[in-house]
Amino acid sequence: MFERFNTPEELFNWKLGSALTMERDIVEMLDSLIEEAHGDGLKQVLRTHQSETRGHVGNIEEAFHSLGWDVDDSPCPVIEAIDKEGKANIRKSDESLVDSVILSGAMETEHHEIAVYEGMIIHARALGHDAVAQLLRRNLEEEEQALQKARTLAEQVATAGSRQLA
């Protein structure tokens, strides 16, 4: 949409669109990760987060509407790269390591999403878009919770895998 950003509003519009693409892509990524996952606990965490992510898409679309902007889905190459790397690592891994690979990628994704939302909240507030900042804050809080769940589950999976090797 923008060849060059000339105003803070244009930059924020683009970032919001990139976040929308990010969340839509993650909904699709989660479909394949649910199929690849072995552990029932991991499958449930992924399903829950997929539902939350659909809500994140809705919150971003609501932000566009409240700003009076057309919904724009700008590219998000970081998520595309994380997805590509994750798929490659799953293909290269022994079945016993797939859940660990998925959880590692989930933590990387959550860290990226958290950084995106923190930056957008700062810009939304600076531009006086407090209602939009609140929508983004909701997404941020769920991303932080998802990171904690992934971290806890990754520790459990890694510990269980280490015991099997001993």
Domain ranges (residues) in the chain = 8-161
Q: Which two tokens stand for residue 64?
A: 């566009």
Contact (CB, 8 A) for 155 and 104: no
Query: Looking at residues 9-17, what average pLDDT do you find?
Result: 96
pLDDT reported for residue 72: 84
In this predicted structure, the answer to whether residue 166 has a pLDDT above a threshold of 60 is no
Contacts of 89 (CB under 8 A, 6+ apart): 101, 104, 105
- CA 26 to chain CA centroid, Å, is 6
Mean pLDDT value across the chain: 94
Superfamily for domain range 8-161: Ferritin, core subunit, four-helix bundle (1.20.1260.10)
Helices assigned H by DSSP within 6-76:
8-36, 40-67
- pTM equals 0.93
pLDDT band per the 50, 70, 90 thresholds, residue 1: low
Q: What is the pLDDT of residues 101-158, one digit of tens each?
A: 999 999 999 999 999 999 999 999 999 999 999 999 999 999 999 999 999 999 999 8
Q: Which two tokens stand for residue 22?
A: 């990010």
What is the C-alpha to C-alpha distance for residues 42 and 155, in angstroms, rounded to an integer? 12
pLDDT band per the 50, 70, 90 thresholds, residue 76: very high
Residue bearing tokens 């923190």: 118
In this predicted structure, the answer to whether residue 164 has a pLDDT above a threshold of 60 is no
Contact (CB, 8 A) for 161 and 97: yes
Q: What is the percent of the chain where pLDDT is above 70?
A: 96
